[in-house]
Structure 1
Amino acid sequence: MSRLRRLLSTPEGMIGLAILIVLLLAGLSAPIISPGDPLRIAGRALLPPFTDPGFPLGTDRLGRDVLAGLIYGARTSLAVGLAAAFSAMILGVCVGMAAGFAGGIVDEALMRVVDAFQIMPGFLLALAFVSTIGVSTPVVVLAIALGAWADPARLTRAQVLAIREQDYVASARVIGMHPVEIAFREILPNALPPVLALSATIVAGAILTEAALSFLGLGNPNIATWGSMIAEGRSVLRSAAYLSVLPGAALAVTVLGVHLFSEGLGKVLGNDGGRAA
Structure 2
Amino acid sequence: MRLLRNLLRTPEGAVGFGLLAVLALVALFAPVLSPGDPLRIAGRALTAPFTDPAFPLGTDRLGRDVLAGIVHGARTSLLVGLAAACAALAVGLCVGLAAGFAGGIVDEALMRVVDAFQIVPSFLLALAFVSVIGASVPVVVLAIALGAWADPARLTRAQVLSVRERDYVASARVVGMHPVEIALREILPNVLPPVLALSAIIVAAAILTEAALSFLGLGDPNIVTWGSMIAEGRNVLRSSPFLSVFPGIALVVTVVGVYLLSEGLGKALAHRGGGA
- CA distance in structure 2 between the aligned counterparts of 1:132 and 1:272, rounded to whole angstroms: 45
- CA distance in structure 2 between the aligned counterparts of 1:119 and 1:44, rounded to whole angstroms: 49
Q: Which is further off, 168-177 or 145-154?
A: 168-177
CA contact (8 A) 1:207 1:255 kept: yes
Q: Which is further off, 265-274 or 67-76?
A: 265-274
- CA distance in structure 2 between the aligned counterparts of 1:62 and 1:143, rounded to whole angstroms: 30
In the TM superposition, residue 273 of structure 1 has moved relative to its aligned partner by: 2.9
- CA distance in structure 2 between the aligned counterparts of 1:146 and 1:48, rounded to whole angstroms: 41
CA RMSD of aligned residues (A): 0.8
CA contact (8 A) 1:194 1:270 kept: no
Partner of 2:40: 40
Partner of 1:60: 60
- CA distance in structure 2 between the aligned counterparts of 1:64 and 1:21, rounded to whole angstroms: 27
Q: In structure 2, the residue corresponding to 1:62 is in which secondary structure?
A: coil
In the TM superposition, residue 116 of structure 1 has moved relative to its aligned partner by: 0.4
Partner of 2:105: 105
| Residue 223 (structure 1) aligned with residue 230 (structure 2) | no
Q: In structure 2, the residue corresponding to 1:233 is in which secondary structure?
A: helix
Structure 1 unaligned spans of 5+: none
Query: Identity of counterpart residues, as a percentage?
Result: 78
1:145-189 deviations in whole A, cap 9, x for unaligned? 000000000000000011101111111111111111110110000
Partner of 2:92: 92
Partner of 1:9: 9
- CA distance in structure 1 between the aligned counterparts of 2:41 and 2:184, rounded to whole angstroms: 53
1:203-242 deviations in whole A, cap 9, x for unaligned? 0000000000000000000001000000000010001000
Partner of 2:245: 245
In the TM superposition, residue 272 of structure 1 has moved relative to its aligned partner by: 2.4
In the TM superposition, residue 38 of structure 1 has moved relative to its aligned partner by: 0.1
In the TM superposition, residue 274 of structure 1 has moved relative to its aligned partner by: 3.3
CA contact (8 A) 2:6 2:271 kept: no
CA contact (8 A) 2:12 2:263 kept: yes
In the TM superposition, residue 3 of structure 1 has moved relative to its aligned partner by: 1.4
Normalised by the length of structure 1, the TM-score is: 0.98
1:59-111 deviations in whole A, cap 9, x for unaligned? 00000000000010000000000000000000000000000000000000000
Q: Which runs of 4+ in 1 moved over 3 A?
A: none
Normalised by the length of structure 2, the TM-score is: 0.99
Partner of 2:175: 175
- CA distance in structure 2 between the aligned counterparts of 1:272 and 1:187, rounded to whole angstroms: 18
Partner of 2:152: 152
1:221-277 deviations in whole A, cap 9, x for unaligned? 00010000000000100010000000011100100000000000011112223344x
1:104-137 deviations in whole A, cap 9, x for unaligned? 0000000000000001000000000000111111
Q: In structure 2, the residue corresponding to 1:147 is in which secondary structure?
A: helix
Partner of 1:257: 257
Amino acid at match of 1:249: I
Equivalences, count: 276
| Residue 163 (structure 1) aligned with residue 179 (structure 2) | no
Amino acid at match of 1:202: I
- CA distance in structure 2 between the aligned counterparts of 1:223 and 1:86, rounded to whole angstroms: 22
- CA distance in structure 2 between the aligned counterparts of 1:98 and 1:274, rounded to whole angstroms: 28
Amino acid at match of 2:161: L
Amino acid at match of 2:193: P
1:16-67 deviations in whole A, cap 9, x for unaligned? 0000011011111110111110000000000011111110100000000000
- CA distance in structure 2 between the aligned counterparts of 1:274 and 1:137, rounded to whole angstroms: 41
Amino acid at match of 1:66: V
Structure 2 unaligned spans of 5+: none
- CA distance in structure 2 between the aligned counterparts of 1:143 and 1:4, rounded to whole angstroms: 31
